[in-house]
Amino acid sequence: MKKILLFAVLTMATAIMYAGGYRVSLQGNKSLAMGHTGVGVVSSESLFFNPAGMVLSGDKFSVSIGGFGVFSNVAYQNETTGASARTDSPVGTPVYAYISYKATDWLALGLGVYTPYGSTVEYEDDWAGSHLVNNIDLQAIFIQPTVSIKLHDYFSIGGGPIFVSGSVNFNRNLSRTLTDINGNRSEVTIDADGVTATGWTAGLMFSPSEKLNIGFNYRSEIILEADEGTADFENIPNSPLTPFADTNITAELPLPAELTVGLSYKFCDKWMFNFDFNRAFWDVYESLDIDFEDPNIPDSFNARNYKNSSTYRFGLQYEATEMFTLRAGYYFDESPVRDGFFAPETPRNDSNGYTAGLTFNVSDRFQIDASFLYLHFNEVDASYDAYTEDGVAAPFRGTYKSNAFSPGLGLTYKM
Amino acid sequence: MKNIYKIIACFVAVGLVSCDPEFENSVEDQGFYDAGDANFTNYVAVGNSLTAGFADSALYITGQEDSYPNIMAEQFSFVGGGEFTQPLMADNLGGLLFNGQQIAQNRFVLAVDAQGNLGPAILEGTPTTEVTTSATGPFNNMGVPGAKSFHLTASGYGNEAGILTGQANPYYARFATGPNANVIEDAASLNPTFFSLWIGNNDILSYATTGGSGVDQTGNLDPTMYGPNDITDPNVFASVYSQQVDALSAGASGGVLINIPDVTSIPFFTTVPAQSVPLDAATAAAVNAQFAQYNSQVLPGLVQLGVITQEEADARMINFQAGINFPIIMDDDLTDVSELLQGPPLNLPADIANLLGQLRQANNNDLVVLTASSVIGTTPDPSNPLGVVGVSIPLEDSLVLTAVEQERVATATASYNATIEALATANGLAYVDARTALAQVAATGVPYNGGLLTSEFVTGGAFSLDGVHPTPRGYAYTANIIINAINETYGASIPTVDIGNFGTVTAANGI
Q: Which residue from B7, B21, B78 is facing A75, i.e. has the nearest CB? A: B21
Q: Do A237 and B21 touch (CB under 8 A)?
A: no
Task: Give yes or no for B450 touching A (CB within 8 A).
Answer: yes
Instruction: For Cα atoms B72, B468, B410, give the angle at the middle one, nearest 5 degrees.
Output: 100
Closest chain B CA to residue A176: B501
What's the pLDDT at B115? 85
Tens digits of per-residue pLDDT, B1-52?
445 555 555 555 544 444 778 899 999 888 899 999 999 999 999 999 999 9
Q: Do A394 and B450 touch (CB under 8 A)?
A: yes
Q: Do B22 and A401 touch (CB under 8 A)?
A: yes
- How far does the CA of residue A282 sit from the closest CA of chain B (Å)? 27
Write the CA distances from A392 to A295, B10, B452, B500, B508, integer angstroms. Answer: 23, 43, 9, 11, 24
Closest to B349 (Cα-Cα) out of B361, B337, B341, B358:
B341
Strands (E), A17-106: 61-68, 71-77, 84-86, 95-102
Q: Do B510 and A77 touch (CB under 8 A)?
A: no
Flag whether pLDDT at B235 surpasses 80: yes
Report CA B505 to chain centroid distance, whole Å. Answer: 16
Closest chain A CA to residue B30: A82
Q: Do B503 and A402 touch (CB under 8 A)?
A: no
- CATH label, B2-270+404-501, candidates 1.10.579.10, 3.40.1280.10, 3.30.110.40, 3.40.50.1110: 3.40.50.1110
- How far does the CA of residue A178 sit from the closest CA of chain B (Å)? 7
Phi, psi of A342 (to 5 degrees): -85, 90
Please answer whether residues B112 and A239 qualify as being in contact, where contact means their C-beta atoms are separated by less than 8 angstroms.
yes
What's the pLDDT at B3? 54
List the beta bridge partners of residue B324: B278
Phi, psi of A173 (to 5 degrees): -80, 155
Closest to A237 (Cα-Cα) out of A287, A313, A185:
A185
Closest chain B CA to residue A240: B112
- How far does the CA of residue A240 sit from the closest CA of chain B (Å)? 7
Task: Give yes or no for B31 touching A (CB within 8 A).
Answer: no
Is the four-CA dihedral B282, B285, B287, B290 of positive or negative sign?
A: negative
List the beta bridge partners of residue A144: A112
Question: Which of B3, B19, B27 best tests the A interface by mutation, with the highest count of A CBs <10 A?
Answer: B27
What's the pLDDT at B116? 83
Rounded Cα gap, residues A189 and A174, in angstroms: 10
Rounded Cα gap, residues A254 and A259, in angstroms: 16
Flag whether pLDDT at B306 surpasses 80: yes
What's the pLDDT at A347? 83
Helix axes B472-490, B434-443, angle to 10 degrees: 140
pLDDT band at B135 (very low <50, low <70, confident <90, very high): confident
What residues of chain A score a pLDDT lower than 70?
A: 1-21
Flag whether pLDDT at B56 surpasses 70: yes
Cis preceding-peptide flag for A161 (omega within 30 of 0): no
Phi, psi of B425 (to 5 degrees): -60, -45
Rounded Cα gap, residues A314 and A222, in angstroms: 27
User: Strand B96-98 relative to strand B194-198: parallel, antiparallel, unpaired?
Assistant: unpaired
Flag whether pLDDT at B412 surpasses 80: yes
Question: Which of A177, A182, A351 best tests the B interface by mutation, with the highest count of B CBs <10 A?
Answer: A177
Flag whether pLDDT at B459 surpasses 50: yes
Average pLDDT over every residue of B140-147: 98
Those residues whose C-beta lies under 8 Å from the C-beta of residue B477, and which sit 6 or more positions away, are B437, B441, B446, B448, B453, B462, B470, B499
Those residues whose C-beta lies under 8 Å from the C-beta of residue B153, and which sit 6 or more positions away, are B182, B183, B184, B240, B243, B244
Rounded Cα gap, residues A127 and A123, in angstroms: 7
User: In A, which residues are within 8 Å of B27 by CB distance?
Assistant: 77-79, 82-84
Number of residues in chain B: 511
R_g of chain A computed on alpha carbons: 22
Write the CA distances from A112 to A129, A142, A179, A261, B135, integer angstroms. Answer: 38, 8, 47, 21, 66
What's the pLDDT at B264? 84
Q: Do A239 and B500 touch (CB under 8 A)?
A: no
What's the pLDDT at B7? 53
Please answer whether residues A51 and A160 qualify as being in contact, where contact means their C-beta atoms are separated by less than 8 angstroms.
yes
Rounded Cα gap, residues A399 and B400, in angstroms: 52
What's the pLDDT at B249? 96
Please answer whether residues A66 and A93 qualify as being in contact, where contact means their C-beta atoms are separated by less than 8 angstroms.
no
Q: Which residue from B18, B19, B503 is facing A177, i.e. has the nearest CB? A: B503
Tens digits of per-residue pLDDT, B344-389?
878 889 988 999 999 999 999 999 999 999 899 899 888 888 889 9
User: Strand A61-68 relative to strand A396-414: parallel, antiparallel, unpaired?
Assistant: antiparallel
Question: Which of A405, A406, A409 best tests the B interface by mutation, with the highest count of B CBs <10 A?
Answer: A405
Listed in order, the ranges of chain B carrying CATH 3.40.50.1110 are 2-270+404-501
Q: Do B511 and A238 touch (CB under 8 A)?
A: yes
Q: Do B450 and A389 touch (CB under 8 A)?
A: yes
- How far does the CA of residue A128 sit from the closest CA of chain B (Å)? 8
User: In B, which residues are within 8 Å of A379 by CB distance?
Assistant: 23-24
Write the CA distances from B195 to A328, B42, B172, B429, integer angstroms. Answer: 61, 8, 18, 10
Rounded Cα gap, residues B91 and A309, in angstroms: 53
- How far does the CA of residue A153 sit from the closest CA of chain B (Å)? 43
Q: Do B110 and A241 touch (CB under 8 A)?
A: yes
Closest chain B CA to residue A93: B15
- How far does the CA of residue B79 sit from the closest CA of chain A (Å)? 11
User: Strand B43-47 relative to strand A300-303: parallel, antiparallel, unpaired?
Assistant: unpaired
Exposure of A387 in the CB half-sphere (CA atoms within 13 A): 24
Write the CA distances from A10 to A13, A90, A171, A348, A390, integer angstroms. Answer: 6, 16, 20, 27, 40
Rounded Cα gap, residues A175 and A179, in angstroms: 9
Question: Which of B28, B477, B501, B504 best tests the A interface by mutation, with the highest count of A CBs <10 A?
Answer: B501
Closest chain B CA to residue A79: B27
Is the four-CA dihedral B471, B473, B479, B481 of positive or negative sign?
A: negative
DSSP letter for each residue of B461-503: BSB-TTSSSBPHHHHHHHHHHHHHHHHHHHT-------GGGS-
Rounded Cα gap, residues B261 and B462, in angstroms: 14
Rounded Cα gap, residues A5 and A143, in angstroms: 9
Question: Which of A175, A178, A239, A385 best tests the B interface by mutation, with the highest count of B CBs <10 A?
Answer: A239
Tens digits of per-residue pLDDT, A249-298?
999 989 999 999 999 999 999 999 999 999 999 999 999 889 999 999 98
DSSP letter for each residue of B107-157: PEEEEE-TT--EEEEEPPS----BTTS------SEEE-TT--GGGGG-TTT
Closest to B140 (Cα-Cα) out of B66, B72, B45, B73:
B45
**Window 111-170 of B, Cβ < 8 Å to A:** 111-112, 118, 123
User: In A, which residues are within 8 Å of B510 by CB distance?
Assistant: 238
Rounded Cα gap, residues B107 and B41, in angstroms: 33
What's the pLDDT at B390? 92
- How far does the CA of residue B473 sit from the closest CA of chain A (Å)? 10
What's the pLDDT at A288? 86
**Window 227-266 of B, Cβ < 8 Å to A:** none
Write the CA distances from A141 to A12, A48, A222, A258, B324, integer angstroms. Answer: 9, 13, 12, 17, 70
What's the pLDDT at B45? 98
Q: Do B500 and A73 touch (CB under 8 A)?
A: no
Rounded Cα gap, residues B511 and B508, in angstroms: 7
Phi, psi of A326 (to 5 degrees): -105, 145
Those residues whose C-beta lies under 8 Å from the C-beta of residue B204, and which sit 6 or more positions away, are B231, B232, B260, B263, B409, B412, B413, B416
What's the pLDDT at B12? 52
Closest to A224 (Cα-Cα) out of A192, A248, A202, A190:
A192
Domains and CATH numbers, chain A: 2-414 (2.40.160.60)
Q: What is the three-class DSSP state of B98?
A: strand
**Which ipTM did the prediction report?**
0.89
Q: Which residue from B15, B118, B509 is facing A238, i.e. has the nearest CB? A: B509
User: Strand A380-384 relative to strand A366-377: parallel, antiparallel, unpaired?
Assistant: unpaired
Report chain B's terminal Cα–Cα distance, integer Å.
60
Under 8 Å CB pairs connecting chains A and B tally to 123
